[in-house]
Structure formats: C-alpha cells, structure tokens
C-alpha cells in the first residue's frame, strides 16, 4: 500500500508522477482499498449455551442487523433450550447480541433425530439450514427412510417458510446448502447409492458405484428439484462443502477413499477430493490431493484471485504433503480452476490438529478454525485433552497468529467468521467447565469464542 502525504509534496512534477502511478494501477490492486486492522487474537469473550443434554454448534453467520446467528443440534429440554421435549435431537438456532446474550432461540424437527450442518444467508434476509433427518413428522414434511437430506428455509425471525428432504432408505446426509446466483439453491453432501439402487442421478441412471457418493442437488427458487448428480467410486466418498464457480457451475469438495470410476488419480488411503461441475451438473474434472495416509478435507473457499483452497487434516508425509509437523496437521492446499496445485501448507504440532473451516479477509489473509491436541510446533499451549483452535495465515499460507481456547475436557470448533467490526466469531462445542471455559450445563454445550 503506497502511503503518501500530499501536504509534503513540494513540486507539481512530483504530484503529476504520483498521479500517473495511482491511475495506472489495475482495478484489483489493493491501493484503492483501506487496510483492514490486524486481529491480535485477544479473547473478547468465551461463552457456552445449552442444557443438560448434548448441544453442539456447527455454523454461524452475522445477521443483517449486526447480531449473530448460531446453528447446531440439541438434545436438551432445559437450560437455554425451551419449547421441546423428548430424547431425540433437533436443529437449534440461536440469535445472539454482539456481546453474546441470547435474543431468541428456536428448535426445528420431528419425533426422531435431526442433525444440523450449516447455516447460510439468503437474499431475502432469511437463512437456509441444512443437515439431515430421520423424522417424517413435525417440521419434517417427509422421509424416504433412515437419514435424509433436510433443508429448512426460515425468515429473519426464525419462522419456517418451507422445508425439503431428499434421500432413499440408506444414510443420506447434507452438509451445506446455499443460494445460487440464479436465485435457486445447491445442496452438497453424500448418500448411500447401494440403498438407492443406482437412483439419485438424473443424467446417468442406474450406475452403481460404492457405499458413499458425493451427491449434489440443484433446486429452483421455490425449493423444487432441478437436477441431482452423484460422483464417486467403489468406497467411501463424502462431500462436506461446495462452492458456486464464476461460470455458474459448482465445485464439490470433501474426502474420497475410492480408486476407480470417477476417482482417477488416487493418492493413498483417503484423499482430499474436488469435483468440478458445469451449471447443469455435468462433470468437468475431478482432482485428488494428499499422500499415502489418511487426508480428510472438511471445508473449501473460492479465493479473491479466482482460485480455491481446501482445508482439513493430513496424516501423510509424502506426495502433495511436503512439510508435516506431527501425527496429523491442519493442511491447506490451493489450486486453480483446472485443478492444478498452486501451494500447500501444514500447520500444527506433534499431536492431532485439524482445520474445519476457512474464510478470507479482504486484506487477503485467511481465518481458520478447528481443534488441536498439540502444545508444540506452531501451537503455544494446550489446556486439556483437546482445545478449540483459531489461526490466521497470510495470502501465501504463512502463519500469522494462532490461539488455543479450552479447559481440561474436550473442546472443538466447527466454523469461524470475520465480523463487520473486524473481529473473529467462532462456534463449536465444549465438555469443559474450567480454565478458559466459564460454564458447562450438561454433556456438551454450544461453545462461542470471540477474538479481537
């Protein structure tokens, strides 16, 4: 960023030369954008919410009014959870103030289990909640058997507008649903193609692969199905995230154990796997990243320069993974729109460390969240068996800072975002009630961490 004080300019020729420099910069040059303040990583607050049962936060967004929406799953019927009964699990949506006070909360589901995966914002000010259900009553319109994709559209106050479920008699689990540029929606996850008899692919019907498949479903604006496609091989293939690409297509990302059918470049036991589609769901290419051991990707992002990054954890120490730290590391790999690797980075210590989410700041840095058992290498401390973990890397993957938060129990983070006031809000779950964790109301609680 050029820093020029006009009051110190003494001559018109110098001012003219400076003007040439300014106006010759491209529109993507950061010179025209104000610098974002650095995030120090200091804790602003740590809070827990829940009841005496299992409560797990998985996703968060900032509401249009500046407050926070936190989404997850609850089995509680007391404490901060009201309006439900029974021993099953439901979607749980909580609206919080900027200081972490509850404004309202809502639960959604039927008489059997629901499990939440992601919340995303919609253009009308509402939200799309995705996950899976085993119910066929209550808020759930129908169920085809066992676990089905379940997508719930709510307004800004949490009122249900519509819901859609998709699946067959096996385990079909959605992990992300988001609004697309044409006003419709895209859902990614995985399903058991062996239980569908080959159904679930509107283009190539009856093609049997294996146990689990990447399953992408495109919806119209009213929530009705536009097309469905699945991709995979003979073993377990699971999509945990997806992105709409610049040409209106999609990139589905996740983990693959297969070595055949759509998986053509296996690296080892489990690989990061990316599947590039056209806007109509046709396959463009697939790409594997990793090494000989187990490498699992949970999140992906489209970067400001038009490329992509996948994150998760890698146990490998060969092929694409060149600088391992220990047992398993948080691993980032950047690649272009043709699947060509640009760079890769490992972050962690000698124990198990993982990244579960990634977002990019306007200054080019990346905020990641996950959990860690290490207290060496890139990690400075560990409070217990497992700590919640937030770290920031620069545009090239270099570590800028990291922060572990936790108690003596198990503490996890699932997603972190940057807020409009340039702070970090991260959500997950905690079983601790000491050290950094102020309270535990039951087996597991929603965990909310805010850094400044």
Model pLDDT for residues 213-250, shown as the tens digit of each residue: 999 999 999 999 999 999 999 999 999 999 999 999 99
Tens of pLDDT, residues 243-259: 999 999 999 999 999 99
Mean confidence (pLDDT) of the chain: 92
What average pLDDT does range 12-33 have in this prediction?
35
Alpha carbon distance 111, 137 (integer Å)? 7
What average pLDDT does range 359-374 have in this prediction?
97
Q: What is the structure's pLDDT at 29? A: 37
Q: What is the structure's pLDDT at 115? A: 98
Alpha carbon distance 207, 214 (integer Å)? 14
Q: Characterise 46 by phi-psi region: left (phi > 0), alpha (psi -120 to 50), beta (else).
A: beta
Q: What is the structure's pLDDT at 335? A: 98
What average pLDDT does range 338-346 have in this prediction?
98
Q: Residue 18 pLDDT > 80, yes or no?
A: no
Long-range contacts (CB closer than 8 Å, 24 or more residues apart) made by 32-40: 33/362, 35/1, 35/363, 36/361, 36/362, 36/363, 36/422, 37/422, 39/367, 39/392, 39/401, 39/422, 39/423, 39/424, 39/451, 39/452, 40/401, 40/451, 40/452
Q: What is the structure's pLDDT at 323? A: 93
Q: Residue 15 pLDDT > 60, yes or no?
A: no
Q: What is the structure's pLDDT at 148? A: 98
CB 345 within 8 A of CB 397: yes
Q: What is the structure's pLDDT at 37? A: 83
């Amino acid at each position: 960023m050029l820093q020029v004080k006009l009051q110190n300019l003494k001559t018109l020729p110098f001012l003219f030369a400076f003007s040439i420099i300014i106006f010759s910069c491209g529109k993507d040059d950061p010179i025209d954008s104000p610098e974002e303040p650095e995030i120090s990583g200091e804790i602003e607050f740590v809070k827990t919410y829940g009841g005496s049962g299992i409560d797990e936060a998985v996703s968060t967004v900032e509401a249009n009014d500046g407050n926070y929406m936190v989404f997850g799953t609850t089995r509680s019927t007391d404490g901060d959870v009201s309006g439900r009964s029974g021993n099953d699990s439901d979607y749980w949506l909580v609206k919080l103030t900027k200081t972490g006070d509850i404004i309202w909360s809502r639960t959604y589901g039927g008489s059997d289990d629901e499990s939440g995966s992601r919340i995303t914002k919609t253009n009308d000010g509402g939200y799309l909640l995705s996950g899976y259900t085993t119910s066929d009553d209550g808020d759930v319109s129908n169920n085809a058997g066992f676990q089905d994709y379940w997508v719930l559209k709510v307004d800004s106050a949490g009122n249900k507008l519509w819901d859609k479920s998709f699946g067959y008699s096996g385990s079909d689990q959605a992990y992300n649903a988001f609004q697309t540029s044409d006003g419709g929606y895209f859902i990614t996850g995985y399903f058991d193609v062996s239980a569908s008899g080959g159904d679930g692919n509107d283009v190539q019907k009856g093609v049997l692969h294996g146990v689990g498949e990447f399953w992408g479903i495109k919806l119209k604006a009213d929530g009705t199905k536009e097309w469905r496609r699945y991709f995979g091989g003979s073993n377990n293939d699971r999509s945990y995230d997806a992105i709409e690409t610049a040409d209106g297509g999609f990139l589905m990302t996740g983990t693959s154990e297969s070595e055949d059918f759509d998986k053509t470049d296996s690296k080892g036991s489990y690989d990061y796997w990316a599947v590039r589609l056209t806007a109509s769901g046709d396959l463009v290419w697939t790409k594997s990243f990793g090494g000989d051991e187990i490498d699992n990707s949970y999140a992906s992002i489209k970067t400001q320069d038009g490329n992509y990054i996948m994150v998760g954890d890698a146990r490998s120490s060969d092929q694409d993974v060149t600088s391992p730290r220990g047992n398993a590391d948080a691993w980032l790999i950047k690649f272009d729109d043709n699947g060509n690797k640009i760079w890769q980075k490992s972050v962690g210590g000698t124990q198990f460390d993982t990244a579960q989410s990634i977002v990019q700041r306007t200054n080019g840095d990346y905020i990641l969240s996950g959990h860690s058992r290490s207290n060496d290498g890139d990690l400075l401390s560990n409070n217990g068996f497992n700590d919640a973990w937030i770290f920031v890397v620069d545009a090239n993957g270099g570590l800028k800072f990291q922060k572990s938060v936790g108690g003596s129990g198990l503490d996890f983070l699932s997603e972190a975002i940057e807020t409009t006031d340039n702070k970090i809000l991260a959500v997950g779950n905690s079983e601790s009630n000491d050290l950094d964790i102020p309270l535990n109301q039951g087996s597991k609680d929603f965990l909310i961490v805010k850094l400044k």
